Amino acid sequence: MREKAGKPRKGTIRLEARQEGDQILIIVRDDGAGIDPERVGRKAVEKGLVTAERLRTLSPREILDFIFLPGFSTVEKTTDLSGRGVGMDVVRTNLKKLNGSVGIESRLGEGTTVNLRLPLTLAILPVLLVQVAEEVYALPLRAVVETAQSIPSTRTGSRAMKSYAYAGRLFLYCAWNSCFPYVPAGSRRERI
């Protein structure tokens, strides 16, 4: 499909982040086919979200806003990756909880840009970075009481649930690949 449009076979997703005033702007941009506002509008009318008359008065950007409604999808057939109508509404809801916002711009045939805005105060939250296989997670420091290095002889337990003796206390923990579904199954790293 991309090649028919004169684009390289592999697509590009670009991620940018920068400070703008008292906000952090995160930009996610692709060079895909873009989102067709007419298709989004037809689906919105079909679902009864807007009348055809009202739709004619909306700008393309206002029409794209339907994407943020719960259950909205233009995909005809559901797959593991798309069509379930779960996604952008969750993004907007969670950003609003953080006093942030999300907006979308798209050019048919050129690609889509999603702009995420968050208060700067969230960007300066102190965190503990933890690497799980190839992924890095940020744990809020306010949730961390103490860190310690594990010694193999102090660990016991089954494959799924394990325990670790430290400072006269017993702590329960699980293997990373049991707790984090995105850790590759063959990963042998075990860190507490």
Q: What pLDDT digit, counting tens, does each position of 21-80 carry?
A: 889 999 999 999 899 999 999 999 999 999 999 999 999 999 999 999 988 888 777 676
Give, in order, the Cα–Cα distances in Å from 166 to each of 156, 158, 181, 190.
12, 18, 27, 17
CA dist 66 and 37 (Å) reads 10
pTM of this prediction exceeds 0.75: no
Q: What pLDDT digit, counting tens, does each position of 126-156 carry?
A: 888 887 777 777 888 888 888 877 666 656 6
Q: Which amino acid is at 32?
A: G
CA dist 123 and 19 (Å) reads 10
Nearest to 191 by CA among 170, 180, 171, 175: 175
CA dist 175 and 192 (Å) reads 8
CA dist 80 and 92 (Å) reads 21
